């Protein structure tokens, strides 16, 4: 018999904790919608009590997602649980995920409580969460290093208190597969009420064993895996969603397990998360890396030509990688673009054809040929305009050269006003940034990181600029795309400025609520 394993995605919670800057509400929603298309069962959307922005993100995602359960994280603290309940109540189906540490080192050194006190806190938190929903998950933080007798006792009491899912995390990535599998097996053998809850696992990758430990756990009865796209997350990352999904699919005959993941959405979702989170995927990454389906050895190439399965245990098409690199030019019509987007796995509602086509024509005039990766880049970046953008670039001119002082002039729309400014700098990008700061009057912005990447091949490849800026104690990430590096950098900074405006609006609404306005 084939058994079902639930996929619990925590890209927007545990994964985001490892990013250089927080994602905006709009960016998080875009990723959540991609996760829904991918077929994940539960989307952990954030930690609502942590900030007004996170609360807003969780609430927005909860309102928009229809085919997955939206989850919010909370400590075993009543105000955390209340924040989850408030943010998630707009969802069609939601889960509250509460946790507390159970290992001796955490209980004694961090919590400074007795085991009985921690158990009582866990039970109280679960019961409080049940006031909001019947779908409550409880996590024994650092379960991998928890005394097994205490772990069994905690799991039994958590289920009696009303937890419908109990998570066994290897929080610091310490265990090895045989050890972690034995922990799960022991729980099933010793906890009398374990059949009344789903056992979940949340493994970190500090020793590179997160995926292996997760697979060992489901072999011994766990039926939920917590993971992230591309394995992003704290320190060395989390269990990689694409890897466990394809292991369970490729080895279904042996393992007798399956998921609800639509594997053909894997590559597109991986690319979206990589680009929006500014977290590149290594070339040799399993399933989604650039070399995952490449063959350099002559022997391998000969084998592939004779029979694909000689050196490929899965096809690139099975994870949504289309091998047909169709070249497009400015002479290509809308129907060709629409057909190509369909071949790449996009649905009509995923993009605006008119907007994409106009951006495509401009790019085709500059480059001559446009490739698949160009089209996807236009979807990911050029259409990522803020819903209520306060700042918009109207004009840009930059000068630089040997013996010249770099300078730039910009014209900006700021709300319902327009302004122009000129400035100098260490280079044309710095000059343009200085001009933007001058015309907007936003002196609270400080650039802390600037990265340049090439999207495509050759001298006319698209430039992707990623900017991390600090604004009033918080960090924001902006991404810009253009054939010109200066323009790409300016777009990235404007993206940051618009996100700071949204953050200010959220903070202002929270203060008004506190003041009773």
Give whole-number Cα distances, 14 to 44, 171, 190, 489, in Å: 9, 11, 30, 28
User: What is d(CA 448, CA 240) in angstroms, rounded to the nearest whole number?
Assistant: 29
Q: Which residues have a Cβ under 8 Å from the Cβ of 488 and sit 6 or more positions away?
A: 452, 462, 463, 464, 465, 480, 481, 482
Nearest to 62 by CA among 84, 34, 88: 88
284 is known to lie in a ligand binding site: no
435 contacts 423 by C-beta, under 8 angstroms: yes
281 contacts 230 by C-beta, under 8 angstroms: yes
User: What is d(CA 24, CA 495) in angstroms, rounded to the nearest whole number?
Assistant: 10
309 is known to lie in a ligand binding site: no
What are the structure tokens assigned to 318, written together? 């099975």
Give whole-number Cα distances, 351 to 34, 74, 338, 355, 380, in Å: 13, 35, 10, 8, 9
238 is known to lie in a ligand binding site: yes
Angle between the N-to-C axes of helices 485-515 and 52-64, in degrees from 0 to 180, rounded to the nearest 10: 100
Nearest to 144 by CA among 113, 103, 198: 103
| The residue to which tokens 């050196």 are assigned | 311
What are the structure tokens assigned to 212, written together? 């292996």
Q: Which helix (H) or strand (E) holds 452?
A: strand 445-455
User: What is d(CA 278, CA 474) in angstroms, rounded to the nearest whole number?
Assistant: 17
Nearest to 124 by CA among 95, 106, 100, 104: 100
Q: Report the 10 Å Cβ neighbour count for 447.
A: 18
106 is known to lie in a ligand binding site: no
What are the structure tokens assigned to 72, written together? 């919010």
Annotated binding site: 14, 202, 204, 238
Annotated binding site for Mn(2+): 14, 202, 204, 238
């Amino acid at each position: 018999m084939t058994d079902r394993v639930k996929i619990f995605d925590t890209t927007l919670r545990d994964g985001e904790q490892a990013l250089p800057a927080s994602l905006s509400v709009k960016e998080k929603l875009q990723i959540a919608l991609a996760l829904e298309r991918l077929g994940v069962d539960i989307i952990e959307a954030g930690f609502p009590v942590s900030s007004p922005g996170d609360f807003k993100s969780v609430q927005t995602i909860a309102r928009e997602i229809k085919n997955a359960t939206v989850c919010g994280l909370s400590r075993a603290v009543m105000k955390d649980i209340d924040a989850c309940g408030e943010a998630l109540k707009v969802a069609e189906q939601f889960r509250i995920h509460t946790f507390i540490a159970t290992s001796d080192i955490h209980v004694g050194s961090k919590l400074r409580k007795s085991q009985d006190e921690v158990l009582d806190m866990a039970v109280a938190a679960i019961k409080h969460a049940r006031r909001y929903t019947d779908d409550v998950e409880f996590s024994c933080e650092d379960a991998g290093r928890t005394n097994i007798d205490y772990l069994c006792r905690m799991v039994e009491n958590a289920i009696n208190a009303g937890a419908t899912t109990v998570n066994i995390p290897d929080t610091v990535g310490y265990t090895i597969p045989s050890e972690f599998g034995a922990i799960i097996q022991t729980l099933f053998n010793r906890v009398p009420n374990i059949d009344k809850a789903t056992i979940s696992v949340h493994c970190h990758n500090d020793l590179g064993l997160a995926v292996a430990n997760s697979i060992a756990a489901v072999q011994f009865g766990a039926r939920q895996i917590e993971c992230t796209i591309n394995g992003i997350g704290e320190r060395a990352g989390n269990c990689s969603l694409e890897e466990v999904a394809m292991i369970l699919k490729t080895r279904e005959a042996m393992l007798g397990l399956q998921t609800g993941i639509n594997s053909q959405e894997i590559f597109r979702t991986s690319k979206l998360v990589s680009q929006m989170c500014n977290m590149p995927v290594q070339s040799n990454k399993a399933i989604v890396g650039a070399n995952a389906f490449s063959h350099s050895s002559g022997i391998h190439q000969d084998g592939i030509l004779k029979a694909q399965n000689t050196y490929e245990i899965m096809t690139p098409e099975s994870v949504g990688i289309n091998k047909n690199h169709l070249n497009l030019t400015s002479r290509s019509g809308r129907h060709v673009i629409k057909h190509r987007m369909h071949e790449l796995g996009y649905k009509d509602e995923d993009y605006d054809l008119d907007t994409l086509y106009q951006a495509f024509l401009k790019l085709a005039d500059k480059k001559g040929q446009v490739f698949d990766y160009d089209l996807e880049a236009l979807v990911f970046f050029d259409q990522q305009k803020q819903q209520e953008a306060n700042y918009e670039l109207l004009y840009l001119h930059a000068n630089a050269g040997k013996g010249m002082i770099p300078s730039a002039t910009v014209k900006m729309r700021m709300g319902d006003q327009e302004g122009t400014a000129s400035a100098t700098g260490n280079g044309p990008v710095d000059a343009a940034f200085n001009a933007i700061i001058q015309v907007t009057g936003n002196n609270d912005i400080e650039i802390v990181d600037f990265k340049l990447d090439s999207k495509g091949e050759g001298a006319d490849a698209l430039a992707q600029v990623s900017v991390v800026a600090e604004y009033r104690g918080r960090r924001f990430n902006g991404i810009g795309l253009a054939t010109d590096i200066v323009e790409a950098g300016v777009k990235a900074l404007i993206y940051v400025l618009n996100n700071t405006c949204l953050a200010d609006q959220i903070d202002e609404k929270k203060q008004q609520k506190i003041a009773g306005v």
